[in-house]
Structure 1
């Protein structure tokens, strides 16, 4: 499906496109149509999660495009995520099975731990006490990981990985006694203002693929992001490089990640921009361009998940 055949290999033999379509923050009403359109224009990697509460609609879109012959199931690389209220080992498989039921799929291609912060199990996605403080849970993530390994063995997911883990949390999994499958990826916020160079080097040294979300900055949803940071796509350096290549700043930001060997998720609900994003393979940045964009790194994190700051496993307390 990917018109340029650009695909990144995961270390257990599975593949995902270097450019994926993310469904975060897509309302149920728009998730169906934008996902169908993304598949139609060439996106193979669809990134979703239980917490987005739109997997039923995304699944309908995938089934629709399979039914009309646009794609086969094996053409789609679908990623789902295990939410923080399901990190107890006994809750992992039921959570995945719930997503599969919503999606009308027999398996997902990649299942990842969404955030390394265990929260109180239950119906609430963000369980809080009477003071509005997040209610945590005590879970050994190594035990959660073992439950994911069992899901892979059961054929419910082809690959397993993590998201929003810092290098110490990754090392905890990698050094786990009896490790059967190591994480194939770590999905993190990554863009020119937060290029994650140290974490990228660490992941590469362990054959772990870095997957970038927030690659175009943020859509500035106040519950999740810091609204005081500058707008990435208005950066003058990105704008100048875009003008030189006759491209948009967004395409330059996406291309930057691809040339670093990063799998990048493009998140947009505008059909014109969705179609535009797939054109990222039509040009190449020069070494000078890459160096200039590297120089934009300011350690600006848009997605701070502020409600989780007090959790003892909050990953962003570490440098990387």
Structure 2
């Protein structure tokens, strides 16, 4: 992990950047276009969106305007709960591709397991189908717990390459992380800064002071040293620059353990076992 373009190799051989930009709650139109374009200009190569974010067109426009060759970028989007099922997922994928203006996708994720709906296996079959058709370079899931992964893997043909989950020092998901490691599923963090809640945490501030780094930079560095891909969201160019300035220092084993010990199994997002929003 030497710089912003450093990658991890997924279990199918595809290289995914360790660090990227998340665009959750980034408004469609000018805000989406300018923030994604700014990130790409700064050297970001991974952009993470989702159908439900409603900003795929802006992301697509920024990609087009960036002038960076398509093969140098890693673009992720996700199928929303209401579209789970085989045919509906394939249709949702085509819709996302149209909005993004892309011929292929780097990573497609099932956004939530929605266990009450009981359709994630059927949805996964659609992802396998699109993957085998060469339309997606890697497929994965988001917000899947160990139980959902075990259930999916009992009869899937392709093991998910990525599981994107809420992950930060107050929610380290140790058991899930171990399970993913053992099954070569790359863990990816959303809401790595706990939506700003952790920025006043004294332990983190103290560590930051030692390196001349902000609390956000300490957390993002901790993610990477825990071998977790991370995609902090920002619409401000200076914040994007700060977030990415984490490749010139390294946390000690003791500091890593100290940050791990802040875990309280506390979420800012929904519990994946109970979240059923359409």
TM range (shorter): over 0.9
1:292 aligns to what?
258
Kindly state the Cα deviation for residue 140 of structure 1 after the two structures are TM-superposed.
Answer: 3.2
Partner deviation per Cα, 1:36-65 (whole Å, 9 max, x = no partner): 000000111100000000000000000101
Query: TM-score, normalised to structure 2's length?
Result: 0.95
- Greater radius of gyration (CA): 1
- Give the equivalent residue in structure 2 for 1:86: 83
Determine the C-alpha separation between the residues in 1 that align with 2:119 and 2:93.
19
TM-score (norm 1): 0.82
What is aligned with 2:202?
236
2:114 to 109, 112, 117: 117
Partner of 1:209: 186
Question: 187, 190, 200: which is aligned to 2:167?
Answer: 190
Contact kept, 8 Å, 1:187 with 1:211, in 2: the verdict is: yes
SS in 2 for 1:199: helix
The structure 1 residue matched to 2:147, chosen from 159, 168, 186, is 168
Shift of 1:5: 4.1
* Equivalent in the alignment of 1:265: 231
1:143 aligns with 2:109: no
Mapped contact 1:82–1:95 kept (Cα < 8 A): yes
Would you identify which runs of 4 or more consecutive aligned residues in structure 1 move more than 6 Å?
none
**What is the alpha-carbon root mean square deviation over aligned residues?**
1.8
2:20 match: secondary structure:
strand
Q: Do the aligned residues in 2 keep the contact of 1:108 with 1:157 (CA within 8 Å)?
A: yes
Match of 1:42 in 2: 43
Q: Do the aligned partners of 1:110 and 1:161 also contact (CA within 8 Å) in 2?
A: yes
Structure 2 distance, partners of 1:310, 1:165, is 11
The separation in 1 between residues aligned to 2:120 and 2:78, in whole angstroms, is: 15
Mapped to 2, the partners of 1:92 and 1:180 lie a distance apart of 17
Structure 2 portions without partners, runs of 5+: none
Query: How many residue pairs end up in the alignment?
Result: 275
Q: Give ranges in structure 1 of 5+ residues lacking alignment.
A: 119-135, 220-230, 314-320
